[in-house]
Amino acid sequence: MQKLTRDDLYSLEEYAELRAQFRAEVMAHKRNRQLALGAHATLYFEDRLTIKYQIQEMLRVERIFEPDGIAEELAAYNPLIPDGSNWKATFMLEYADVEERQRALERLVGIEDKVWLQVEGQDRIWAIADEDLERETESKTSAVHFLRLELSSAMVEALRTGQSLAAGINLDAYREEVKPVPENLRQSLLADLD
C-alpha cells in the first residue's frame, strides 16, 4: 500500500471545508476495520485512508502548515500503513473506570505480544508490537499499542481463495478468541494485501 505524501493531504483551508464529509466517509470505512477481542480489547486495523484522516486531524488540531511540520507528521504516521504483506493495527485496552483500567494494565503486562490472527489451515500470526518505542514497563502495560502482523504468501493465497480468519489473545489473564472474524472485516483486510 502506497505511503502518503504531502501532495495527498488537504491544506488546512481545504480540510476545514471538507472535514465533515471526509470524517463521515472515514467513520463508515472504519466500521469494517475493527475487531473487539472480549469486553476490553479492540484491534483497529489501519490503512491509507485511516492514517490520512489521523494526519489531517493532527495538522488541524496543531495548526501545522509548514513543510517541516507536515513532513514530521508523515514520518510519524506512514509506518502505520500496511506494506502489502502485513496488517497494522492500533490495539487498545479500553476500561471506562480509571481505577479498573490501572489495575488491568498492571495485570495485563505483555498482552500486546499475545495477540494473534490465524488464516484457516495456517499457523498463527503473532503480533509484533511497538516497533517505534517501548510502551510497557515491568509493572504495567500501556492502554495503546501499535501492532504489525506479517503474513506468508501461502496465508495470503488462502485468504484469497476464501479461507476464514480467526483472532485472539492468549494471555493467562486475558484469553479471547473470535472465530471466524466477520466477513466484512476479512474482506476489508484482504484489500490491504498486494
pLDDT at 136: 63
pLDDT at 20: 97
User: Do 22 and 94 share a domain, yes or no?
Assistant: no
Measuring CA to CA, which residue among 52, 41, 38 is closest to residue 9?
52
pLDDT at 152: 96
Is the distance from CB of 38 to CB of 176 less than 8 angstroms? Answer: yes
Give the residues across from 118 on adjacent strands. Answer: 124, 166
User: Do 117 and 155 share a domain, yes or no?
Assistant: yes
Structural domain total, the chain: 2
* Cα separation values, 106 from 43, 129, 139, 160, 187, Å: 20, 18, 6, 40, 35
Strands of the sheet containing 124-126, edge to edge, are: 124-126, 115-119, 165-171, 174-178
User: Do 67 and 149 share a domain, yes or no?
Assistant: no
Note down the domain range covering 11: 1-31+48-81
User: Do 177 and 154 share a domain, yes or no?
Assistant: yes
User: Do 5 and 64 share a domain, yes or no?
Assistant: yes
User: Do 113 and 180 share a domain, yes or no?
Assistant: yes
φ/ψ of residue 167, rounded to 5: -150, 160
User: Do 21 and 90 share a domain, yes or no?
Assistant: no
User: Do 102 and 185 share a domain, yes or no?
Assistant: yes
CATH number of the domain residue 185 falls in: 2.60.40
User: Do 104 and 180 share a domain, yes or no?
Assistant: yes
The end-to-end CA distance of the chain, in Å, is 7
Strands of the sheet containing 41-46, edge to edge, are: 34-36, 41-46, 86-93, 144-150, 128-129
Which residue in the block uniquely carries the three cell numbers 488462502? 158
Q: What does pTM read for this prediction?
A: 0.91
Per-residue pLDDT of the chain (194 residues; tens, 9 = 90+): 799 999 999 999 999 999 999 999 999 999 999 999 999 999 999 999 999 999 999 999 999 999 999 999 999 999 999 999 999 999 999 999 999 999 999 999 999 999 999 999 999 999 999 877 666 677 899 999 999 999 999 999 999 999 999 999 999 999 999 999 999 999 999 999 97
User: Do 92 and 188 share a domain, yes or no?
Assistant: yes
The set of residues, in sequence order, having a beta carbon less than 8 Å from that of 44 and lying 6+ positions away, is: 30, 33, 34, 50, 89, 90, 91, 92
